[in-house]
Amino acid sequence: MIAASIDLGAHRKDEYLQAARIALDPEGAHISLDLTAGIAVADIVLTEIDRDRTGTISAEEAGAYAEVVRRDIALDLDGRPLVVDLIDSRFPSIESMRKGEGAISLELSAVIPALPAGARHLRYRNTHHADIGAYLANVLAPENPQVAIAAQKRDVDQRQLVVDYVLSGDSSTIAASSFLPDVVGALLMCAAVWWRQRSRPGDARS
Amino acid sequence: MRIVLRRTTMVNLIVLAIASATAVAQGPAAPQGTAADATARIVRAAQAVLATLDEAGRAKVQFPFDGPQKTKWSNLPSPMFERQGLLLADLTPPQRSAVTNLLTTALSSDGYRKVTEIMKGDEVLKTGQGGRGGGRGAGRGGPSFGEDQYYLAFVGTPSTTTPWMLQFGGHHLAINLTMAGSQSTMAPSLPATQPAKYTIEGREIRPLGEENDKAFALINALDATQRSQAILNYRVSDLVLGPGKDGRVIEPEGIRASSLSPAHQTMLLELIREWAGITNDAFAEPRMTELKAKLPQTYFAWSGPTTNGSVAYFRIQGPTLVIEYAPQGSIDHIHTIYRDPTNDYGAKFVAK
């Protein structure tokens, strides 16, 4: 005899889960955003994507929807808005979305201008489908040691995440330092050419 | 009844004989009780499974170690998520007996209890849905539920020296146990359950009940200041590092275990053991020793009410550990994840 009280309605059927992971370095913020519509709201989202009702998602439709989402994502640094660009998008089949399981994956990126060292505040805000949205927003542990996360502050629904971080070193210096090996290499090549020309006996005497 | 018992005994004897024969082929046994010995016993049990299969069966269960199979796991039922490997529903009684022997060898007694209760829970789910699923192609492409809808795969060749993975999973379950000689990791793995509570023959079963109760006990044992550090002021509606989120490390939040009393630290370690202890004791103990050493850098974070029986999310995160416990909108549907960001799929063993 088996008995259980099963609440199948408990599965996230009526929400549009939007999970963002933000990678931060001195020169930019990169957002990986996964959007999964629950089975009860999948048709609402699909109506907005499959605009010609063909039952497939064309490249144009995918691009148009990704653009809608991009416009609903705002990033600002120390109160100044950053330009958010769409880098890549992947769409699942309509069939898997209708089952409430297929996830749309977007890669977004914003350039952070060169900044002096100090405390910084990056604000991420997602207003896409606030009517049915459920949100996750997390900053990844920085790979660049010049970025140290001090705090993450969110609103109760995680539509907004403010990342307080400390930038050590000057990011303009950091950017310039990335060219240093090239510059040194070029100088060494010039020196080598000069030395070879100087060493040729004929050339030296003429 | 006596005939059934005799047949079962015969099957077990055959399995044991095959296991013994393969043990001889494997070479001298490692010392009892060590991790190397555990690997050797698991390898013998895996080879015993292979010995029950024909060529087609072996082709189904065996995958290359460096191929894509190791990351193919999910909380979803099949065929929403297309799994590969040996499906329990397709096995003969001797084959199934060999698989059972493998799982009891690879897992601790509590780990095996947990895994089978998760599978039984899926059987309850099937029954609760009016018999949908259960068996191949059931529901005409719809999800297949039930305790025989679980898959076994060997990623790499079972070996006492070179890395390989025992992969076992289905709806609400993914066990990925990578072994390399005396080393092992069970990361990433996903124990989940729906329903979270059911009864069989009058006995109440809660597959992840200890995880729930130990976490509520810990959060309620903290003082007001500690609790304010541990409790996040926002809702977490799902796993952050669930299936498909390999290779990501999020910034930790919550209270650092170094701020906890020794008693609280012990409670946290016992909570961690609910995941780390799923695997064979010989593997679990060194892992627990490692996690205890890293406890001062480990964080405990909570989101939701603190009254047991409420919907609450928690996360434990350290340098080599991520555990998340995420109710899916109700206390009767739980997803969890266990990861080692430095050693998912045995990355450390392969790098050596």
Is residue B333 helix, strand or coil?
coil
Check whether residue B273 and residue B341 sit in a common domain: yes
Q: How confident is the model at residue B19 (pLDDT cuts 50, 70, 90)?
A: very low
Cβ distance of A158 and B195 shorter than 8 Å:
no
Residues in chain A within 8 Å Cβ distance of B123: 2
Q: Which two tokens stand for residue B311?
A: 């919907």
Check whether residue B221 and residue B179 sit in a common domain: no
Predicted confidence at residue B144, as pLDDT, reads 83
Predicted confidence at residue B132, as pLDDT, reads 42
Check whether residue B94 and residue B164 sit in a common domain: yes
DSSP string for residues in B205-274: E-TTHHHHHHHHHHHHHS-HHHHHHHB-SS---S-SS-TT-TT--BPP-SEEGGGS-HHHHHHHHHHHHH
Predicted confidence at residue A62, as pLDDT, reads 97
Q: How confident is the model at residue B82 (pLDDT cuts 50, 70, 90)?
A: confident
Q: Is residue B89 part of a domain?
A: yes
Predicted confidence at residue A192, as pLDDT, reads 59
The predicted-structure confidence for B129-149, as pLDDT tens digits, reads as follows 534 444 434 445 567 889 999
Check whether residue B254 and residue B327 sit in a common domain: yes
Q: Is residue B40 part of a domain?
A: yes
Check whether residue B144 and residue B226 sit in a common domain: no
| Distance between CA atoms of residues B133 and B151, nearest Å | 15
Residue B341 has a CB neighbour count (10 Å cut-off) of 21
Cβ distance of A6 and B80 shorter than 8 Å:
no
Measure CB to CB from residue B250 to each of A4, A134, A138 and give the nearest one. Answer: A138
Check whether residue B147 and residue B250 sit in a common domain: no
Q: Mark which residues 214-243 of B lie under 8 Å from A by CB.
A: 232-238, 240
Could you list the pLDDT tens digit for every one of the 206 residues in chain A?
444 433 333 346 789 999 999 999 999 999 999 999 999 999 999 999 999 999 999 999 999 999 999 999 999 999 999 999 999 999 999 998 998 888 999 999 999 999 999 999 999 999 999 999 999 999 999 999 999 999 999 999 999 999 999 999 866 554 444 444 444 455 555 565 555 555 544 433 32
The answer, yes or no, to whether the previous bond of B94 is cis (omega within 30 of 0) is no
Instruction: Give residues with Cβ within 8 angstroms of A138, minimum separation 6.
Output: A20, A21, A22, A152, A161, B240, B250, B251
Total structural domains in chain B? 2
Question: Whole-model pTM?
Answer: 0.85
Q: Is residue B237 part of a domain?
A: yes
Q: What pairing do the DSSP bridges indicate for beta strands A84-90 and A103-111?
A: antiparallel
Check whether residue B229 and residue B141 sit in a common domain: no
Point out the domain boundary residue: B185, B215, B233.
B185
Residue B188 has pLDDT above 90, yes or no: yes
Q: Which residue of A has its CA nearest to B125?
A: A6
Check whether residue B128 and residue B32 sit in a common domain: yes
Contacts by A78-81 with C-beta closer than 8 Å and gap 24+?
Answer: A78/A120, A78/A121, A79/A121
The predicted-structure confidence for B157-176, as pLDDT tens digits, reads as follows 999 999 999 999 999 999 99
Q: What is the DSSP letter of B308?
A: T
Q: How far is B334 from chain A (nearest CA, A)?
A: 10
Q: Mark which residues 245-284 of B lie under 8 Å from A by CB.
A: 245, 248-253
| Distance between CA atoms of residues B104 and B278, nearest Å | 11
Q: Is the dihedral of CA B291, B294, B295, B301 positive or negative?
A: negative
Q: How far is B200 from chain A (nearest CA, A)?
A: 5
Point out the domain boundary residue: B151, B185, B219.
B185
Residue B56 has a CB neighbour count (10 Å cut-off) of 7
Check whether residue B220 and residue B308 sit in a common domain: yes
Q: Which residue of B has its CA nearest to A98?
A: B80
Q: Is residue B197 part of a domain?
A: no
| Distance between CA atoms of residues A67 and A204, nearest Å | 65
Q: Is residue B101 part of a domain?
A: yes
Measure CB to CB from residue B328 to each of A11, A139, A140 and give the nearest one. Answer: A11
* Average pLDDT for chain A: 84
Point out the domain boundary residue: B157, B185, B213.
B185
Q: Is residue B195 part of a domain?
A: no
Check whether residue B173 and residue B221 sit in a common domain: no
Per the CB < 8 A criterion, the answer to whether A66 and A106 are in contact is: yes
Residue B185 has pLDDT above 60, yes or no: yes
Range of the domain at B100: 2-185
Q: How far is A196 from chain B (nearest CA, A)?
A: 44
Q: Does A11 touch chain B (CB under 8 A)?
A: yes
Predicted confidence at residue B6, as pLDDT, reads 41
Check whether residue B82 and residue B132 sit in a common domain: yes
Q: Does B32 touch chain A (CB under 8 A)?
A: no
Residue B249 has pLDDT above 90, yes or no: yes
What's the CA dihedral at B281, B287, B293, B298 to 10 degrees?
Answer: -120
Residue whose structure tokens are 């100087």: A198
Residues in chain B within 8 Å Cβ distance of A19: 238, 240
Predicted confidence at residue B50, as pLDDT, reads 98
Residue B39 has pLDDT above 90, yes or no: yes
ipTM of the complex: 0.82
The predicted-structure confidence for A33-50, as pLDDT tens digits, reads as follows 999 999 999 999 999 999
Check whether residue B242 and residue B343 sit in a common domain: yes
Q: How far is A168 from chain B (nearest CA, A)?
A: 18
Q: Which two tokens stand for residue A200?
A: 């040729």
Measure CB to CB from residue A7 to each of B250, B253, B330 and give the nearest one. Answer: B330
Per the CB < 8 A criterion, the answer to whether A57 and A94 are in contact is: yes
